[in-house]
Structures are given as C-alpha cells and as structure tokens.
Structure 1
C-alpha cells in the first residue's frame, strides 16, 4: 500500500476540503486528486463523494479511514524499529564468558550495558577460551569475555583489566602464619588451580613462573569455579590461586595471602570477530572498557 496515497486520503478525510488537504500535503489540488483516484482504483472502491460545493466520505471511506491511519502508524513503527535495530538499540546479544570473568567483571559490565541499551536482551553462556574462539568463528556468540591472548588471528580482543592472583590456603597450613608469600614459598605445596582449558596460556604462564622460581608444582589439582578452589583449600588439600579480591569468599577455615615478587596475573579481555562490529557489540565493548578503568 502506497504511503503517500494513504496520507493524502487521510488529509482529505480530516479536512473535507481539497485546497486545505493539498496544502497540508504540499501538493497542488490536481496532484492530490490524482493520488486519491489512484488509491480508489487500487482498492476498487469509491472513498469520497465530491462536487464543487462539498466533500464527504462514503461509508467505505469512513471505514477505510481508521484502517488507513493504522497502516500509517504501523509503517512509522516499523521504520522506527528498523532504525533502532540498526543502531543496536533493540535485539539480542549472546555473550560467552569464562567462570572467573563471570564473577570478577561481568556483573558491572551487564549493569552498565543494560542501562545503556535496556531493550537488548543478553544471553550468557559459560565457556572456556577455546570454546569462545570456536563460537565466535561460527557466529554462535557475538562477544567473549575471558583471558587473552587468543590463538585465532581472525579474532580481535581488547584487554580491559588485569588483576593479580592471591593465594588461598587452610588456616592449618604453616604458610598461613606468614602475612605475605612468594612463589618460592609454594615449592612444596599441592596446587589447586583452574583447568587448563579455561585459559591455556594463563595456565602455562603460572607453571612457567614457578619454574623461574626454581621448582615445578608437585601436584596440580584442577578445580573450578573459585568456590570449589576455596572449599578444597579449606579442607587442606593444598593452596589455591584466586584471581581477585571479588572471589575471596569469607569462609571459615581459610586465609588469603598476597603474592610478593614475580607472580601471575589474570588478564581480562573482550573478544569479538573483526567482521562483526555491530553497534550492539561496540556498545558492549565500550561498557566493558569503562568497567576496566573503574577497576584501575
């Protein structure tokens, strides 16, 4: 249905005067009459009675007027919605995230993102970094939050924050009497650490730093998320690596100690496909970077 013809009919129906309706539509009277005739021919219905003195609607015209107004409103809403989607203001964003990032930065990012784009739904999928890379390549997620660097050069990432690892250990462990620890102090301990597939390069970095300190971890017990690491440390199974004070749950039986000297740190970044920089993705990255700056 031609919008211009509908607008001309609505104007004439409301003005009941060809001159005023033509002026309202920024047309000459002959042009307005032509628009009306074309609409009636399209509908195969007479909409208007007209003579030199009077203009009035037929019964069909009266009924069609309500529908014509609705059609124009629907067109306006469709255009507005399309433009909002194009600007990234409406729709859905699928985010992949590692367990540790879920607890450290995600609550703040999603709060800011929801305030900025309240009509964009966010679907969250817990994923390792390898799973995120595959999902980004396949288009199953639009954004990943985890621990760069990435292995796939076709994907891009921005580091938003870096947080140091601390140590969680049982208060029964003799090391708990020390206010600060170094990696060298951990040489005889069993390590409780996140599984390598969550962040392979970060995992290898921790092992490398231990080797630089003169030892290789005696035993590595893999656990995730942070609550599991803390629970195992409370049971005195070993010492755990906790990446942020935000993960340091107040649990009876454990203490947290800062690592002094060379120590591993957890980079947190936003990953995305270089071919998918939609306004929604851009907005999410910007809010993630803002959260990273607030973390210092």
Structure 2
C-alpha cells in the first residue's frame, strides 16, 4: 500500500513496527470509510426490510374510512417512524391508474369498485 500511496505507512525497527504520521492518517481515514460503508449497508438493509423509505397511499375520504385510516396510519407511524408516508385523498376510481402504474404503493378504496381491474389485489378489513 505504501508504494501505491507514495508514502511510508510503517516505520520498522529490529524490535518493533510503528505507524508513521502518514500511516496514522491513513488508518484514521480508513476507519472512517469503513464506518460509512457499514452505515450504508445498514441503511440499505433497513430500506430493504421496509423499516425506512417512503410509502405512498391513496385513500378515499368516505365517512366509514376516515377513522380506520387515521388509526391505522398512527399505529404504522409508531412501529415504523423512519418511513415517510405520503397520503393523497382520492376517490376509488382516481386511485386505479396510479396503483397500476406504481405511483401509489397502496390505496384504501371501496372494494366493489376495484373488482375486475387486472393487477390489483385487495384485502378487506
């Protein structure tokens, strides 16, 4: 590594090896880089596990849904504080295209209106 850097990193004697000033700086920088790599890997893992990132939700504001949506989102925020939720109030029909195109991750809709739309799954509460 010393030849690649162009500076001696280690000072050797008959009895010991010690870091030079360049070696100390290289070690400090290397530790910082390794820390950043570990942090990046941890962030990527959290994102992959769904513990962070963005969740785009469309919801209908029909009276029966309002409290259920609010309560569910509050619980989700408690469990996943690093997930940013972007909510959009839309009627059921307005949600179909964004759901199919991937512009919304999920939608709270009137189930009878989405029946027959290919690619959309549903789960009734």
SS for the counterpart of 2:33 is helix
Equivalent in 103, 115, 130 of residue 78 of structure 2? 115
Deviations for 1:143-175, whole angstroms, at most 9, x for unmatched residues?
Answer: 001210314121101011xxxxxxxxxxxxxxx
The within-5 A match list for 1:217-236 is none
SS for the counterpart of 2:121 is strand
Q: Does 1:86 align with 2:48?
A: yes
Q: Does 1:56 align with 2:56?
A: no
SS for the counterpart of 1:155 is coil
SS for the counterpart of 2:58 is strand
Unpaired stretches in structure 1, ≥5 consecutive residues: 1-38, 161-296
The structure that is strand-richer by fraction is 1
Q: TM-score, normalised by structure 2?
A: 0.89
Deviations for 1:72-114, whole angstroms, at most 9, x for unmatched residues?
Answer: 1101101111111110111010000001265231111011111
| Alignment match, 1:191 | none
The within-5 A match list for 1:211-250 is none
Unpaired stretches in structure 2, ≥5 consecutive residues: none
| Alignment match, 1:124 | 87
Q: TM-score, normalised by structure 1?
A: 0.39
| Alignment match, 1:75 | 37
| Alignment match, 1:138 | 101
Q: After the TM superposition, which segments of 4 or more aligned residues of structure 1 sit over 2 Å from their partners? A: 39-45
Larger radius of gyration: 1
- Measured in 2, the distance between the counterparts of 1:42 and 1:134 equals 56
